[in-house]
Amino acid sequence: MLFAGLLKAIARRTPGQKVSIIICSIDDRRFENVAESYRQRMGDWPYELIRIKNAPSLAHGYNQGMERSTGEFLIFSHDDIEILTPDFCARLLAHLESFDLVGVAGTSRLLDGRWISAGQPWIHGQVVERTPTGEGLFLTLFGPAEQRTRGNIQALDGVFLAARRQAAESLRFDEEMFDGFHLYDIDFSYRTHLAGLRVGVCNDILIYHDSLGRATGPWPHYQKLFEEKFSGRLATGEPGVRKKCAQERVGTKAEALALFQQYLKQCAITETESSR
C-alpha cells in the first residue's frame, strides 16, 4: 500500500485531526532544517508548526507551545533531528490510535533518572546518531522489534514525543522543578505511566539525532530532583544487561534507513501492518 493510501485509511478513522508540532529553538538554521523535515514527512496531513524561542526551559517552552496549539495530536520535538522514515505521518497517527503518549526510545522498567539504566531486556526503540569521532553514523537498536509498538512503557527519551491532546493537557510538563533542559521528558512520561495512561515506543519510526546525548553539566542535579520526587515508586532490583540490542556503523542516513527497513522486514513489520 502506498503512502497516500495509508494516509487515506488513517483519515477515515481520524478525520481532520490536526497535528501540532512544538519545537523550542534559538537556532534559525536548526529550526529551518527540522521544519523542512516535518514538511516532507507530514505530506498533506493538516499540521501546524509552533516555534518557541528563548524558552527558559524545555518544560516551560513545551507548556507554552501546548497552550498556543490547536491540534488533537501534539508532537514535542528537539530541533536537531531529522525524520528518516518516509511514511512517518501514517505510522505515527496509527500509533496514536492505540496510545496516549509515544516516543522512539524508552524503558519498560524505570530504575532511576536514566531510562537506559534498566538494561536488557527492558530498553526499547532505535535512533541514528553520529559517531563520537564524527566519522560516519551509528544505527542503534536499543531492543528487538518484536512488534510495531512496544507497550507498557514507563519512561521515554525526549528527543521525540507525541501525545494525544487530552493526555498532555491533563499532565503538562513540570516546569517548576525541571527549570532547565534535563529530566523534563522522564518526569512527563513517567507521570503519564503512573496515571494509568497508555505509553509506547514506536519500533517502526527512525529518527536521526544530531547529538551524542551525554549527561553532563547540570544533568546530575535534575536526576537527583527526579529520584527524590519519585522515591519509593521507581522499580527496584538489579538492572539488566547493560548493552544495546545492536549497533551498526553506516556511512549515510540513507544507508541507515535502508538497513532499518530491511530489519523491519525480517521482523515481519511491514509498511501495511505498521499503518493499520
Assign domain 3-275 to its CATH architecture: Alpha-Beta Complex (3.90)
Residue from 147, 106, 154 nearest 127 by CA = 106
Tell me what the mean pLDDT of segment 153-171 comes to: 98
Cell digits for 131? 559517531
The C-alpha cell at 179 is 527549570
> In sequence order, which residues have a C-beta less than 8 Å from that of residue 5 and are 6 or more positions away?
none
184 in Cβ contact with 58 (< 8 Å): yes
Indicate the DSSP class of residue 273.
G
Task: Tell which residue, 117, 138, 166, has the closest CA to residue 256.
Answer: 138
Residue 2 confidence (pLDDT) above 60: no
The domains of the chain are located at 3-275
Q: How far is CA 52 from CA 47, 60, 243, in A?
A: 16, 10, 36
- Over the range 60-93, which residues count as b (16 or more CB within 10 Å of their CB) and which as e? bbbbbbbeebebbbbbbbbbbbbbbbbbbbbbbb
Can you tell me the distance from the alpha carbon of 272 to that of 82, in angstroms, rounded to the nearest whole number? 23
Quote the CA–CA distance of 115 and 235 in Å, as a whole number. 11
d(CA 32, CA 57): 21
pLDDT score for 15: 60
pLDDT over threshold 60, residue 167: yes
- What is the value of pTM for the model shown? 0.93
User: Each residue of 201-247: pLDDT tens digit?
Assistant: 999 999 999 987 666 679 999 999 999 999 999 999 999 998 899 99
- Per-residue model confidence as pLDDT tens digits over 49-90: 999 999 999 999 999 999 999 999 999 999 999 999 999 999
